[in-house]
Amino acid sequence: MTYVDTGRLGYGTQASGGSSSFADTVVDGFRRMLSPGQAGRVVLKVDRTRSTGTDRERRLEEIQRFISSNSMHLPKGFAVGLNGQFANMMADDAWEEVDAYPSMHSLETFLLMLLSTKATQRPGIGTNGRGSITAFWRDGENRLTIDCLPSGNTRWVLTRVNAKGEVERAAAECQPDRLCEVLNAYGPEVWFGQ
């Protein structure tokens, strides 16, 4: 028997009380009861427990949960470190409320970029205020900035001192899975590590 593709399962039992990504979806299913009401009426009753919080706090939680759930594919310590960076970036006293929150599509692009480049050095992060997530590395004069866009593309710009001591600059847009190849000409290990 072969399965492909999927629907997302949710979850069942009690444990995380609605905090799980899978729990949220499935718990809803199990908490939903279809029952005959009085006078033969059909009544759909839904119970859901959730924590209060601002939209920004919920988005941060969503981001941290998504990063955690893919931590097994990242270098050791990356997930916890990135989650701390996002918490700092989206903290009360750091966030400009006029900015759009980092989008989940951008976050997917961001993680795919990290997986594709096999970076072992964690980037600094930022946002352009329009939902994208920016990753940047710096080693002296060598700088690389990658914008991870909600469209699934990356837009990057770099400054690199070559073997002759000359400063080279480059910029382009590509899919995350192409990054490794296109950056290879610039000795990306200076940013990503070995």
Partner 1 sequence: MRASPAISLARGGVSVRYKKAPILEASLEFRWQPERPLDAIRASAGLHAFSEFEAPKERKLVQATLDLQGGEISHESKKVGFELALKDGSQIVIIESDKFVFVQRAPYDQWQTFSQRALSLLEPVAASLGVSEFSRIGTRFVNRIDIPQTDGANVNTEDYITVSFSGPRTDKGVVHEFQMRVVKPTLKDGISYGLGVATSGSLLPDHTSIILDIDVFTEGPTPASGGVFAKVLSEMRDEKNEIFHSCLKKPAVDLFGGVEE
> Under the rule (CB under 8 A), what is the footprint of partner 1?
1-9, 11-17, 19-23, 26, 37, 40-53, 57, 60-61, 64-65, 68-73, 76, 79-80, 83-84, 87, 108, 111-112, 115, 177
CA angle 136, 119, 100 (to 5 degrees): 40
Query: Any residues with CB less than 8 A from the CB of 49 and at least 6 apart, and which?
Result: 17, 18
Closest to 155 (Cα-Cα) out of 170, 173, 179, 128: 173
At 24, the amino acid letter reads D
Residue closer to partner 1 by CB (options 76, 164) is: 76
The runs of H, that is alpha helices, within 78-178 are 78-89, 104-117
Structure tokens belonging to residue 162: 């070559």
Sheet of 124-127, strands arranged across: 124-127, 133-139, 142-148, 154-161, 167-174
Residue closer to partner 1 by CB (options 122, 143) is: 122
Residue closer to partner 1 by CB (options 51, 162) is: 51
Residue closer to partner 1 by CB (options 14, 162) is: 14
Q: Measure the CA–CA gap between 62 and 7, rounded to whole angstroms.
A: 19
Task: Write down the least CB distance from residue 33 to partner 1, Å.
Answer: 10
Residue closer to partner 1 by CB (options 15, 167) is: 15
Task: Write down the least CB distance from residue 71 to partner 1, Å.
Answer: 5
Task: Write down the least CB distance from residue 49 to partner 1, Å.
Answer: 5
Closest to 64 (Cα-Cα) out of 7, 92, 104: 104
Task: Write down the least CB distance from residue 128 to partner 1, Å.
Answer: 22
Residue closer to partner 1 by CB (options 5, 166) is: 5
Task: Write down the least CB distance from residue 47 to partner 1, Å.
Answer: 5
Task: Write down the least CB distance from residue 169 to partner 1, Å.
Answer: 30
- Positive or negative, the CA dihedral 56, 57, 60, 66 is negative
